[in-house]
Amino acid sequence: MDIREFKERDFEWVLTLNNDNVPAVSELSLESLRHLIKIADRILIAEEDGVSLGALILMREGHLETYSSKNYAWLTEKFDRHLYIDRIMIASEARGRGIGKRLYHDAAILANSLKLPLTAEVNVVPDNPASHAFHQRLGFEAVGDIDHTPDYKVRCYTK
């Protein structure tokens, strides 16, 4: 498996992949994906034999005025500098093959090279126990919870 940087030719595929991964990630429109790509620090694409299998979007601090994610805002308040995993998306036919672990591994290498903590969040309500376990296995530590609404709460992690 290879990990490479996003290329413009990936745009439609990433949009479809993202929206196939709802509700694990929030839905994106063409315009919202264009904006996310513009402010993203890196977008990593996992592929094998030329077939794209997953994507991970990373952001740095500094986008509070142009990015409306409350999770990103909370983490940016807590960490002056950080590399934020905005979302990870895996193609349904590729799940369970270690693609998420490999994307996170490469994100951690990047964060280490920049001397930044790697940050992420996972749903608590509705709960996503598999994702909590995944993050904990990779060495992430919980740093706090955000109560958005009675039906939506997240736990923030850092590594």
Q: What is the pTM of this model?
A: 0.95
pLDDT interval class at 120 (50, 70, 90):
very high
Contacts of 20 (CB under 8 A, 6+ apart): 89, 91, 92
pLDDT interval class at 23 (50, 70, 90):
confident
Distance of alpha carbon 25 from alpha carbon 37, whole angstroms: 15
pLDDT interval class at 28 (50, 70, 90):
very high
Mean pLDDT of 119-145: 95
pLDDT of 149 strictly over 90: yes
Mean pLDDT of 112-125: 96
With a pLDDT cut of 90, the percent of the chain lying above it is 94
3-state secondary structure of 141: strand
Distance of alpha carbon 6 from alpha carbon 19, whole angstroms: 17
pLDDT of 24 strictly over 90: no
pLDDT for position 21: 92
pLDDT for position 47: 97
Average pLDDT, the chain: 96
Torsion sign, CA atoms 35, 37, 40, 46: positive
